């Protein structure tokens, strides 16, 4: 049986604080955004209460350990499957007198959303990977959490970005925005053991994972359950990005900067209605940058949003772990919804895995399972997204009012 253990450490120094035998554990990882962690710890005697207090802290008027300064490393065998900052801890007692400690946290990426950029920064015509690493390095200048910068040296994509202290934006928000453009970078923080220490690696790349590696999941087989939701409630077929006003003189009337309107003509030809969205980007006045954001949104439009999920049984030596996010996985389903057609599966697709939710083995549940979140891909080729001003045949193009 796969053995999980939960090692709690000080966030800044990574010095061990305690190990708890947790129950009801659930954790997840995502590319470019924080993943969540939740668990509980039964308190059955004074010794277990003292152990829990090392993680949750007890209020005594002094600044002791507790949420906000404690991290838990989730070990699966000899590998670390995630590192999570504990943001909340709640000891409680039920009507039968049973005491337990509830813990909630988020992966190390969440720390970047708690740190504001409090100094003006400018990157002029810089490779976007250098911008991402520059943001992480600037954050690490004060009270560092030990991030080591990793990834290829260049992406070949150059951008200009200006970040002002007055905008009070976080490093996480700016990294998220940097990724939300066509050919934008992907990033995450990975923790791995190295000799007698744990390395926290800030990884940024044009695209995470490997296309040539394919993990296989099938029903019947190691697939426990699946879902394939389609949701058009938050979708759009026409996109704009809105920034700040370029006029610093508050006495004069001015309007926010706006991108062009971007849409994929394929949806109009297919009979889709006009569904419009404008997304705000604080601190941006450059219309070219706003065009990049709107263009990225339009390039990811799938009509109804589909994020297929599948829950699989993990083997002792599973080929897929959170470190493999971005890899492709082949999913083959045979059931009443996806029947065999002429003796062959009607559903067999290869998708990128962009998220994983893990339910470890515990005292209460011996079934180790993981829910994989896939990225359904558009049929459009992002490399062919051209402005109609370029004279090329455009898959995606800005729509000007006079041409509508």
pLDDT, tens digit (0-9, with 9 covering 90-100), for 49-103: 999 999 998 766 666 678 999 999 999 999 999 999 999 999 999 989 999 999 9
Q: Which residues contact 402 (CB under 8 A, 6 or more apart)?
A: none
Residue 150: count other Cβ atoms within 10 Å of its Cβ.
14
Cα-based distances in Å from 147 to 29, 85, 229? 18, 14, 37
Q: What fold is seen in the domain 115-205?
A: Phage tail protein beta-alpha-beta fold (3.55.50)
Give domain 4-112's CATH number out of 3.30.70, 1.10.600, 1.20.950, 2.40.10. 2.40.10
Residue 69: count other Cβ atoms within 10 Å of its Cβ.
16
In this predicted model, what pLDDT tens digit does every residue of 259-290 receive, in sequence order?
999 988 888 888 888 889 999 998 888 888 89
Q: Which residues contact 270 (CB under 8 A, 6 or more apart)?
A: none
In this predicted model, what pLDDT tens digit does every residue of 135-185 receive, in sequence order?
999 999 999 999 999 999 999 999 999 999 999 999 999 999 999 988 999
Cα-based distances in Å from 284 to 103, 149, 167, 252, 298? 38, 27, 10, 19, 19
- Dihedral of the CA atoms 251, 253, 258, 261 (nearest 10)? 170
Q: Specify the pTM.
A: 0.86
In this predicted model, what pLDDT tens digit does every residue of 334-381 receive, in sequence order?
999 889 898 898 888 888 999 999 999 766 556 788 999 988 765 444
Handedness of CA 53, 81, 148, 34 (dihedral sign): negative
In this predicted model, what pLDDT tens digit does every residue of 9-53 receive, in sequence order?
999 999 999 999 999 999 999 999 999 999 999 999 999 999 999
Cα-based distances in Å from 159 to 128, 245, 262, 286? 6, 21, 20, 12
Which tokens hold the place of 346? 């009607």
Reduced to 3 states (helix: H, G, I; strand: E, B; else coil), residue 174 is helix
Domain boundaries, the chain: 4-112, 115-205, 231-303
Tokens 């390395």, located at residue: 199
């Amino acid at each position: 049986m796969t053995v999980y253990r939960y090692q709690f450490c000080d966030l800044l120094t990574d010095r061990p604080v305690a190990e708890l035998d947790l129950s009801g554990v659930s954790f997840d990882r995502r590319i470019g955004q924080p993943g969540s962690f939740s668990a509980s710890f039964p308190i059955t005697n004074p010794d277990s209460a003292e152990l829990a207090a090392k993680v949750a802290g007890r209020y005594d008027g002094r600044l002791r350990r507790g949420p906000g300064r404690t991290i838990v490393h989730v070990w699966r065998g000899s590998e670390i499957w995630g590192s999570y900052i504990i943001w909340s801890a709640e000891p409680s007692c039920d009507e039968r007198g049973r005491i337990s400690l509830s813990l909630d946290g988020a992966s190390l990426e969440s720390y970047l959303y708690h740190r504001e950029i409090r100094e003006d920064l400018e990157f002029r015509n810089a490779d976007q990977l250098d911008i991402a690493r520059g943001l992480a390095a600037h954050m690490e200048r004060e009270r560092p959490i030990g991030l080591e910068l990793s990834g290829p040296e260049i992406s070949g994509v150059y951008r200009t970005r200006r970040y002002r202290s007055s905008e009070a934006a976080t490093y996480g928000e700016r990294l998220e925005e940097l990724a939300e453009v066509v050919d934008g970078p992907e990033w995450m923080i990975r923790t791995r053991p190295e000799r007698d220490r744990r390395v926290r690696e800030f990884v940024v790349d044009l695209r995470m994972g490997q296309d040539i590696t394919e993990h296989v999941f099938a029903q019947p087989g190691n697939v426990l359950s699946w879902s394939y939701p389609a949701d058009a409630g938050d979708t759009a077929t026409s996109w704009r990005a809105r920034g700040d006003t370029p006029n610093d003189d508050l006495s004069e009337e001015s309007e926010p900067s706006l991108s062009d309107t971007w849409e994929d003509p394929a949806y109009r030809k297919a009979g889709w209605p006009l569904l419009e969205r404008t997304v705000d980007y604080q601190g941006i006045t450059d219309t070219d940058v706003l065009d990049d954001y709107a263009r990225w949104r339009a390039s990811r439009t799938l009509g109804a949003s589909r994020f297929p999920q599948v829950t699989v049984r993990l083997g002792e030596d599973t080929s897929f772990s959170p470190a493999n996010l971005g890899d492709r996985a082949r999913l083959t389903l045979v059931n009443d919804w996806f029947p065999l057609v002429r003796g062959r599966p009607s559903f067999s697709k290869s998708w990128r895995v962009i998220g994983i939710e893990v339910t470890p083995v515990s005292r209460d549940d011996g079934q180790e399972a993981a829910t994989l979140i896939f990225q359904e891909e558009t049929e459009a080729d992002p490399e062919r997204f051209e402005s109609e001003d370029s004279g090329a045949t455009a898959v995606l193009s800005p729509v000007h009012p006079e041409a509508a």
